Amino acid sequence: ETGHFTYDPGFTSTASCESTITYIDGDEGVLLYRGYSIDDLADKSDFPEVCYLLLNGELPTQAQKEKFLKNITYHTMVHEQLSMFFRGFRRDAHPMAVICGVVGALSAFYHDSTDISDPVQRVIASHRLIAKMPTIIAMAYKYSIGQPFMYPRNDLDYCENFLYMTFGVPCEPYKVSPTLASALDKIFILHADHEQNASTSTVRLAGSSGANPFACIAAGIACLWGPAHGGANEAALNMLQQIGTPDRIPEYIAKAKDKNDPFRLMGFGHRVYKNYDPRAKVMQETARQVLDELGVHNDPLFQVAMELEKIALSDPYFIEKKLYPNVDFYSGIILRAMGFPTTMFTPLFALARTVGWIAQWSEMIADPSQKIGRPRQLYTGSPRRAFVPVAERA
Ligand code: SDX
């Protein structure tokens, strides 16, 4: 009993750590950041506020918010030498490969100022990462299309600045769409943290050895890239494009149910949620709003997604396996309508999740009792046996 939630002893025994940051009830489809429901935060807050909440445990006062925004804005530029790292990649390199390399390289730029035992330096490293991820990801996109990098602007807010650096060009003024900036802000809130998912656990395990925080975040980026994890938003949109029209949905539902077929419905199912992912509900509504705003409310992929969800949720296999749409099912439709190529979907997930990774890393490093992570195993290999010289081996 913690006075808040009653632990299931079985759960505690399998828990990898204790944390005060994010709470998930997979059976009820509940997600709380520091006690605030994801629905409230997506509807009433904004991403910078949610970053402050995840890092500090409380929503900021107006003065605290302004100071935090100023700190983040101050760190949006990257070291001019960092831009040289992009030139080592082929133009068609996947942006996740690029940002994994470039974020890892940040550990070489701040190695002398990242004393992780100093709480002030941990905060500075956190602010640097939250501030620089949009710049680095926009640079990866610009590099992939052969356009010049756009320097961050201090007069734009976090999401506006990212859209400007991504879609702006030096030769003409770029007008940021408030609708797209607001939709992006909501998408970032939904992706900000999610308890001990695979990439967050990767960051914690890497960080538990005392490794440089920038290198730990690069490890989280690598893990997030997988199609079973953050790569699912790109895979889900590719799947919807492959299905193409609602009449082909039954064929793919049958493939997803066939144990001999490796095909899985991308954007469906979850290790923890055995109910509707609360983020998917907000994402579906945001998709409808953005498509309406852009005048593409009859987007065929959105229609396929809605029909696929309807059929799957009434199918006995999906009901029995408790498979529901997750955060990745609708996000790709919104991002594609906003003009992002599918290869940029997972980098955007990484952009948002950086605050969750670094908040969880900070919580672990600040705990004086924390030790290096060291998962054990069940050994199922050969019993002890005598060595046989090669001349005597059959
Ligand atoms: C994210 O951990 C997090 O919090 C992650 C995340 C975050 O915010 O960090 O929420 C983000 O990664 C969301 C998940 C994105 N991945 C996908 O959408 C990829 C498609 N989903 C599947 O790969 C799958 O659902 C997983 C990997 C997400 C979970 O797989 P599990 O652990 O096998 O899920 P399960 O144990 O609940 O599966 C139950 C059954 C299994 O069949 P049986 O072994 O019982 O016969 O359902 C089957 C699974 O094979 N199944 C699916 C399915 N997902 C699970 N069958 C068809 N299509 C699917 N999508």
H-helix or E-strand spanning residue 36: strand 36-37
| CA distance linking residue 151 with residue 162, whole number of Å | 10
Check residue 297 and give its pLDDT: 78
Span from the CA of 215 to the centroid of ligand 1 (angstroms): 28
| CA distance linking residue 189 with residue 186, whole number of Å | 5
Relative to the CA of 229, which ligand 1 atom is closest?
Answer: 12
Relative to the CA of 193, which ligand 1 atom is closest?
Answer: 8
Check residue 7 and give its pLDDT: 45
Look at 104-113, 135-144, 270-279, 293-302 and tell me which has the smallest mean pLDDT: 104-113
Q: What is the band of 2 on the pLDDT scale with cuts at 50, 70, 90?
A: very low
Look at 7-21, 27-41, 82-96, 135-149 and tell me which has the smallest mean pLDDT: 7-21
H-helix or E-strand spanning residue 32: strand 30-33
H-helix or E-strand spanning residue 168: none
Check residue 268 and give its pLDDT: 93
Relative to the CA of 200, which ligand 1 atom is closest?
Answer: 9
Distances from the Cα of 242 to the Cα of 23, 183, 265, 328, angstroms: 35, 26, 12, 16
| CA distance linking residue 58 with residue 34, whole number of Å | 7
Partners of residue 33 on adjacent β-strands:
22, 36
Check residue 298 and give its pLDDT: 87
Is pLDDT of 1 > 50? no
- Give me the half-sphere count of Cα atoms (radius 13 Å) on the Cβ side of residue 105: 19
Span from the CA of 71 to the centroid of ligand 1 (angstroms): 38
Q: What is the band of 112 on the pLDDT scale with cuts at 50, 70, 90?
A: low
| CA distance linking residue 37 with residue 20, whole number of Å | 14
Mean pLDDT over 108-129 rounds to: 89
* pLDDT, the chain, mean: 93
Output b/e per residue, 304-338; b: 16+ Cβ within 10 A: bbbebbeebeebeebeeeebbbbbbbbbbbbbbbb
Q: Which phi and psi (to 5°) does residue 196 adopt?
A: -100, 55
Q: Which residues line ligand 1 (CB under 6 A)?
A: 194, 197, 228-229, 232, 256, 264-272, 321, 323, 326-328
Percent pLDDT > 70 in the chain is 96
Structure tokens at 247: 């009449």
Percent pLDDT > 90 in the chain is 92
Q: What is the pLDDT of residues 316-344, one digit of tens each?
A: 999 999 999 999 999 999 999 999 999 99
Output b/e per residue, 64-97; b: 16+ Cβ within 10 A: eeeebbebbbebbebeeebeebbeebeeebbbbe
Mean pLDDT over 197-225 rounds to: 97
Residues 6+ apart with CB under 8 A from 190: 38, 42, 279, 282, 283, 327, 331, 352
Q: Which phi and psi (to 5°) does residue 141 adopt?
A: -65, -45
Using a 10 angstrom Cβ sphere, with 0-12 exposed, 13-18 middle and 19 or more buried, the burial of residue 210 is exposed
**Among 162, 147, 152, residue whose Cα is nearest residue 78:** 152
Q: What is the pLDDT of residues 7-50, one digit of tens each?
A: 454 554 567 789 999 999 999 999 999 999 999 999 999 999 99
| ipTM for the complex shown | 0.94
Check residue 113 and give its pLDDT: 66
Residue type, 304: V
Check residue 53 and give its pLDDT: 98
Look at 73-77, 245-249, 290-294 and tell me which has the smallest mean pLDDT: 290-294
Sheet (strand 36-37) strand order: 22-25, 30-33, 36-37
Q: What is the pLDDT of residues 160-207, one digit of tens each?
A: 999 999 999 999 999 999 989 999 999 999 999 999 999 999 999 999
3-state SS, 61-77, equals: CHHHHHHHHHHHHHCCC
Check residue 8 and give its pLDDT: 53
Pocket residue to mutate for ligand 1, from 187, 319, 321, 324, most atoms within 8 A of Cβ: 321
User: 278-293 and 178-191 are packed helices; what angle lies between their axes, rounded to 10 degrees?
Assistant: 170
Under 8 Å between Cβ of 350 and 230? yes
| CA distance linking residue 229 with residue 387, whole number of Å | 42
